[in-house]
Each structure stands twice: as C-alpha cells, then as structure tokens.
A and B are shown apart, each in its own frame.
Chain A
Amino acid sequence: MVELIETILLAVVVLSLAAGVFFMLAGAIGLLRLPDFYTRLHATGKCDTLGEVLIIFGLLLYHIYYYSPGAELSVQLVPVKLLFLICFIFFANPTATHAIMKAAYNTGVKPWKKGDRRM
C-alpha cells in the first residue's frame, strides 16, 4: 500500500515537472516563431505562468514526501514558502505582461495583421 502511494506520488511529481517543462518549451518556441511583439507576449506571458507553477508544484510534492517527515520546523515550512511563491507568480506574471504590453502600445509599436510580412 505504501509502495502504491509512493508510485502515484512520484508519477504526479514527474507529470507536473514534465508538463511544466513542455509549456516553458512551447513558450520559448512561440517567442521565436510568432511574428511580432504582441503575439510573442501571448506565448511568454501565458506559458511561463503555468510552466513555472507546475514545476514549483512538482517540487513541493516531492519535498513534502521526502524531506518533511521528522525534519526541523524550518525544513517543514519550505512547502508553505513554495505555495506563497505560486500565489505571487499568479499575481505578478499577468500584471507584468500587461505592463509591458501597455508600454509597447503607448510608444506606438505597430501590431502585426494577418497577411503582413514578418517583422
């Protein structure tokens, strides 16, 4: 029974790490492939948020299972800090994306339209 729980937990950890890496990779490919500033921000702004959160979530589960039992209080509190980090990313990432977008729009970066040449 303990082995089964451990296997499921490890599977969840590996899955969330792999999904996080996949989304970060998709964001990086989008940064290279998409045609202009605004569409590139779509790729990085969204994929980075979920990618980072998934990776941190995987680390959090791993830490709870392997390091927390019988450890000092300061070690046991590490998952809480990771949880705060996740919350912070969810607030900060879209806000930063929006700030960059607004700055670009106000300085007059022209948005790409379908059929235009790549910039």
Chain B
Amino acid sequence: MGEKSSAKSGKGFGIFVTFCAMFLFWLLLSGMLDAIHVGAGIICSAIIAFVSHDLLVTQKWDKMLRKSGKFIIYVVWELWQILLANFDVAYRVLHPKMPIDPSIIEFDTSLRSDLAIVTLANSITLTPGTITINIDQEKGRFQVHAIAQKPADALLVDKTMQQKVAKVFMEE
C-alpha cells in the first residue's frame, strides 16, 4: 500500500516538474503575457506534461540532481576540449604539409545506458581529431575515425574521456 502511494506521488511530481519546465520554455519563447497566449501555453504544457512526463523525469529526483551537477562540471571541461579541437583542426588544415594520418580504431567501454553512450559519442565527435562512426550498444563497442595517431592514442591508451563520462553517469 505504502509503496503504491509513493509511486503515485512520484508520477504526479514528474508531471508537475515537466509542466513547469514546458511552461517556462513557452513563456521565454513567446514573450507575450496576455490572457490568450498564457492560456494556450498552460493548456499545451499540461497536455505535453501529461502525455510525456516519463521522458523527462526518469529517475529519483535527488539522484538526477546530483548527476546534473556532475554533468555541468563535465560540460565545462568539454567546452575547453572543443576549443582545443578547433585549434587542432585549424592547425592541421592550414599547415602547408597537412600533418594527417587517418585511421579507424575500435575500443570497448563499460557504459550501457542511452544517455551515457550518447554523451560519450558526441564528446568524441567534438574533441580533437576523432569522430564516432558506429556504436554497438550491447557490447559498449565504439568505432572511431581518428585523423592522426595522437588523438587515437588519447582514446585507446589514456582513456581520460571514458573515465570522466563513466564518473558522471556512475550507477549506484
């Protein structure tokens, strides 16, 4: 009985959070505060929150909050990596001899959840010299195109990025 009621309140909480997020998004995008626009926003947000709240709120609230804190730290590090990546590409492209040595590499990770794999794949694409080609989700196997030997080694030997992503999405 107690478990059932707590699950029910969790669902209501999920709908409420989704509704607030959607309605805030509506207000920011529309910028008009008269009755018609706000009323249409409330109706639309309510419908969306009711139908698809389980897509936004998938876990316990405190767990998600802790994860998003770690995720923001990771994003800051990632932004720095993107800057490095762009200087790297600009250097390779503008250098008269074009120092490139492309290869396709494969490696395995312990990541399994959708969000963790998407984060790692997009991070690989955005960081210096590597782009994700294929992912086998069941085995956690990544196939990556590297533009030179050094970025390939960063993924195969150092594994800094895999560790950072694993730390953010660590399952308890």
Contact = CB atoms under 8 A, between A and B. Distances in A.
Interface string A87-119: 000110011011001100100000111100000
B98 interface: yes
A16 interface: no
Contacts of A50: 82-83, 85-86
A77 B31 contact: yes
Nearest to B149: A114
Contacts of B94: 26, 29
Interface residues of A, number: 41
A68 to B, nearest CB: 12
Interface in B3-51: 28-29, 31-33
Size range of the chain B interface in the assembly: 20 to 34
Nearest to B132: A98
B155 interface: no
Nearest to A44: B89
B131 A42 contact: yes
B133 A101 contact: yes
Interface in A32-77: 33-36, 38-39, 41-43, 45-47, 49-51, 73-74, 76-77
Contacts of B172: none
Nearest to B91: A26
Interface of B: 28-29, 31-33, 82-83, 85-86, 89-90, 92-94, 98, 100-104, 121-122, 125-126, 129, 131-134, 143, 145, 147
